[in-house]
Amino acid sequence: MSPYTFTRRNRTSRTVIILIGVYAALLALVILFNAAWWLMALLALATLPAVWDVFQDTQAGLCLGPEQLRWYSGQRQGEIELNDVDFFRFDTRWDFSVRISLVLHSGKRIRLPDESLPPHREFEGLLSQAGYRVERHHFTVF
């Protein structure tokens, strides 16, 4: 199996446009509707993690090699030997997002960070093609 690498950058034009749109909407509420500026500032606090990611240009991704899987997201990172993995579990949540967990032979479950994951269909195909067992669970809570 040839190594597979996926990388995602947080400084994208989509993120910047969304932030500009949110700030324009909050400013419009203050100017046009005389909304309380302190309340709009409080709402703007929710955007600070996105602003930080854009400012720092953090990256997330994973590398799947023949013997190990490595993932990273900002300052967090992890790796595991693939022979310790029993199977890959793909959980479709109620919001239609897909979470991926590694289930080890010991029964321990390691959830991969969402921001470091490639498109789930692509990743599932790659894992199946490489001979790893993949389980799909739809609309689970855990």
Condensed to tens digits (0 to 9), the pLDDT of residues 23-46 reads 999 999 999 999 999 999 999 999
Instruction: Judge whether residue 125 has pLDDT over 80.
Output: yes
- Residue 140 confidence class, pLDDT cut points 50, 70, 90: low
Percent of the chain with pLDDT over 90: 82
Is the distance from CB of 3 to CB of 57 less than 8 angstroms? Answer: no
Domain spans of the chain, in order of start: 4-8+58-138, 10-56
57 torsion bin: left (phi>0), alpha (psi -120 to 50), beta (else)? left
**pLDDT score of 10:** 83
Q: How high does pLDDT run on average in the chain?
A: 93
Q: Which residue has the tokens 């509420």?
A: 29
Give the CA distances from residue 27 to residues 36, 49, 110, in Å, rounded to whole numbers and listed in that order: 10, 19, 42
Q: How far is residue 87's CA from residue 106's CA, in Å, rounded to a whole number? A: 11
**At 65, phi and psi to the nearest 5?**
-105, -175
User: Coil, strand or helix: which one is 109?
Assistant: strand
pLDDT higher than 90, residue 90: yes
What value does the mean pLDDT take over residues 83-106? 94
Region 77-98: mean pLDDT is 94
- Can you name the CATH fold of 4-8+58-138? PH-domain like (2.30.29)
